[in-house]
Structure 1
Amino acid sequence: MKFWLVALTLAASGAAQAAVSVEDFVKAAEFNDPRGIQSQLQQGVDPNLTDSRGRTALFTAVREGSEHALAALLASPKVQVNAVNADGETPLMLAAIRGSLSMVQALVKRGAAVNRQGWTPLHYACSGPDNGVAAFLIAQGAELNARSENGTTPLMMAARYGGGDLVPLLLKAGAEPRAANEQELTAADFAARGGRDAMAKELRRVIQERQRAADAAKAAN
């Protein structure tokens, strides 16, 4: 009996210490403390565990803009860089919508997937401040006409939410302005619904031009 009591006590003590370590680990990411990250990793903390609030260190570092902590995390081969949160988002998606180019570059260098099913990092980059993130993702092979679950494309998101330079960037790279989502809305419709009348007008002009070119090519064949 005494043996089992001692074993149970040790197990409970170990579990408590692990829990405390994870809490400290995530806090180190939150407060941009790379030394804390490195120390905890050396002690064997699993970098992918969640704290009592359901947070992982990687997602926390990205969300808080903790670049030094992120660098320390990405140096660990155990970190799952393509993990998803409860909303189906990856760390790269969150870095993209923040417009954090340095974080996006670090995550991609570490192996974060630029393309995925459904919403993609490029969708997210086109929904936020950008700061060069969209151009970088495109250069890394991001799918320009990726479709979310409801058929939304990055161009649609850029037309309604992104900076004024994003729509021209995507069009020049080859994005399809004639694409429509499940509600039969095009990027021009997205721009109009966002009160961006000039952009909507320009997109409709581009749509007409491309359609005429497509019809001419079809007639020639």
Structure 2
Amino acid sequence: MDRLVKPDVKEVELSFKRDNKCSTSFRLSNLMHTMSVAVNLTTTNSSLFSFTQPYSIIPPLSSSSYTLLLSHPSDHPPLPATVPHDVINVKASMLPTGKAGLEDLRRLFARPGPHVFRDATIPISFVGPHVVEFLISQRTQISRFSFFFSKAVSGCSGSELTALLKPAIASGDADLVSSLIEAGGDVNRNVSDTGSLLSLAVRSGSIEVVKVLIASACKADSSVLHDAAAMNRVDLVEILCKSFPEIDVNWVDSVGRSPIHIAASNGHVEMLKFCISVGGNAEVSDCKGWTPLHCAAEKGHLDSTKCLLECSNVKYVVTKNGKTAFALAAENGHSNLLGFLRFDDLLLRAARLDDAHGLKSCLAQGAEVNGRDQNGWTPLHRAAFKGGIECVKVLLNHGAQVDVVDDAGYTPLHCAVEAGHVQVALLLVAHGARANVKSLEGVVSPVNLDRFKNHPALVHPVCHEKERA
């Protein structure tokens, strides 16, 4: 005879719940037609598991139910360090009389011999959402726990699998996320008040998790680009824009801020440049009238401020409470921005008006001596064209570049010569200005100083146009 009893399961699944008494039941059937069978149940870990009925008698062709108990409540499942599992050992012995007391049964199974059959070895598995959640928290050891993970997932309902997607996504482990989705997790069910699962994946920073969700038809909400912009993850924005044609970098959140606002507020220049390059509007205002430039200025992000000044025309736009970007920078003590946001304009104006005192005042307050206007003119271009020798001296003494070229390839020396200002031209030459300087396009624009001999006041039409600008 092979065995006396037969279990109704190949594996016992124990649904683990944190800090709770856990139990599960299974049945054993007596295969004998005419004789009762005595049964003894033990486990490979007696300190961890116990039975409500470790010794019992099963009548002929009958079955009995048995309950396995987890002896001590715990905050995490007591998984073995290695596979195999803990197991239940089922021993059986024929009992001709059909009756025996507890002590009789103990003596029966304590005495080794052919009368005791080892009828079954039943593995014990911990299943349920608390087990899965624990394994996710141990993701650095997931290779060791991978076998237990697949078992634990089998004991979860669809709604539980969906809820578990949140910690799995937050972990950044794409394999865990894939396993939960394949087991029945719903990527589009609302499981959080903090946005979609795709937004959570973006915040986790894992592009592989994002790809898994996209491949599983996860929908995108309006916050995904904002989340990526806050992290300066251009790669995530690119894949989101490619995967969702409806996504727009000009999407605004509940307070009217676009991803460009978010990037500006965080000082993410790379993200700013990318969003603008794909059609982002750097001049849009939020519900309070703040442009991205206001956001960058308030936080003191110099490179973001420069970037936005180059691609937008909102320097003097005021918020709903009447503040410019300059005012916000000044209020927050970001003196390094003040030149770019206002004093540079005042510096150019002082140079145009031949106001040496105004130049000194602006420079003392942080104006950029080599700042440019919309035509590429620096204050030195303006002062040289106007012939303001004192202004030119002030600018040179503060580090003005003598050979800087404007958008048309003209240097301050060109402007002085074309306007006929001999003393200014000679002063520039004395400070190293060259007669032949390449423009930004590589075109050489020579300056002929000999023309002063015969043409004391020639003015090039380009200079006239810039002066009127």
Shared fold, TM over 0.5: yes
Q: Write the distance in 2 (CA, Å) between the matches of 1:202 and 1:58.
A: 39
Contact map agreement 1:151 1:182 (CA 8 A) in 2: yes
- Structure 1 residue aligned with 2:231, among 116, 128, 146? 128
Would you say 1:87 and 2:193 are equivalent positions?
yes
Contact map agreement 1:160 1:194 (CA 8 A) in 2: yes
Note closer, same or farther for the CA distance 1:131–1:201 as it changes in structure 2 (3 Å cut): closer
- Structure 1 residue aligned with 2:173, among 38, 47, 66? 66
Where 1:93 maps in the other structure, the secondary structure is helix
How many Å apart are 1:124 and its aligned residue? Answer: 0.4
Note closer, same or farther for the CA distance 1:64–1:182 as it changes in structure 2 (3 Å cut): same
Q: Which has the higher helix share?
A: 1
Q: Write the distance in 1 (CA, Å) between the matches of 2:178 and 2:164.
A: 12
- 1:137-165, Cα deviation, whole Å (9 max, x unpaired): 12223221111111111111112226431
* Partner residue in 2 for 1:185: 290
Q: Write the distance in 2 (CA, Å) between the matches of 1:154 and 1:79.
A: 30
Note closer, same or farther for the CA distance 1:79–1:176 as it changes in structure 2 (3 Å cut): same
Note closer, same or farther for the CA distance 1:152–1:83 as it changes in structure 2 (3 Å cut): farther
Q: Kindly provide the amino acid, as one letter, of the partner of residue 31 in structure 1.
A: Q
How many Å apart are 1:192 and its aligned residue? Answer: 1.5
* Partner residue in 2 for 1:48: 159
Contact map agreement 2:249 2:279 (CA 8 A) in 1: yes
Aligned pairs, number:
188
- 1:68-94, Cα deviation, whole Å (9 max, x unpaired): 211211223x31212344433222112
Higher relative CO (CA 8 A, sep ≥ 6), structure 1 or 2? 1
* Partner residue in 2 for 1:171: 276
Where 1:165 maps in the other structure, the secondary structure is helix
Report matched runs for 1:89-108 at 5 Å: 89-108=195-214
Q: Which has the higher strand share?
A: 2
How many Å apart are 1:66 and its aligned residue? Answer: 2.6
Where 2:187 maps in the other structure, the secondary structure is coil
Unpaired runs of 5+ residues, structure 2, are 1-14, 25-126, 315-469
Report matched runs for 1:107-122 at 5 Å: 107-114=213-220, 116=221, 119-122=222-225
Would you say 1:150 and 2:150 are equivalent positions?
no
Q: Write the distance in 1 (CA, Å) between the matches of 2:16 and 2:201.
A: 34
* Partner residue in 2 for 1:31: 138
Contact map agreement 1:100 1:130 (CA 8 A) in 2: no
Where 1:151 maps in the other structure, the secondary structure is coil
How many Å apart are 1:166 and its aligned residue? Answer: 0.8
How many Å apart are 1:131 and its aligned residue? Answer: 6.1
Contact map agreement 1:152 1:180 (CA 8 A) in 2: yes
How many Å apart are 1:17 and its aligned residue? Answer: 7.0
Where 2:128 maps in the other structure, the secondary structure is helix
Note closer, same or farther for the CA distance 1:97–1:139 as it changes in structure 2 (3 Å cut): same
Note closer, same or farther for the CA distance 1:63–1:183 as it changes in structure 2 (3 Å cut): same
Contact map agreement 1:67 1:103 (CA 8 A) in 2: yes
Q: CA RMSD in A?
A: 3.0
**TM-score, normalised relative to structure 2:** 0.36
Unpaired runs of 5+ residues, structure 1, are 1-12, 210-221
How many Å apart are 1:173 and its aligned residue? Answer: 0.8
Q: Write the distance in 2 (CA, Å) between the matches of 1:89 and 1:59.
A: 11
* Partner residue in 2 for 1:204: 309
Where 1:48 maps in the other structure, the secondary structure is helix
Contact map agreement 1:58 1:73 (CA 8 A) in 2: yes
How many Å apart are 1:206 and its aligned residue? Answer: 1.4
Where 1:183 maps in the other structure, the secondary structure is coil
Note closer, same or farther for the CA distance 1:129–1:64 as it changes in structure 2 (3 Å cut): farther
Q: Write the distance in 2 (CA, Å) between the matches of 1:102 and 1:131.
A: 15
How many Å apart are 1:41 and its aligned residue? Answer: 3.4
Q: Write the distance in 2 (CA, Å) between the matches of 1:149 and 1:185.
A: 14
How many Å apart are 1:95 and its aligned residue? Answer: 1.8
Give the greater-gyration-radius structure (CA).
2
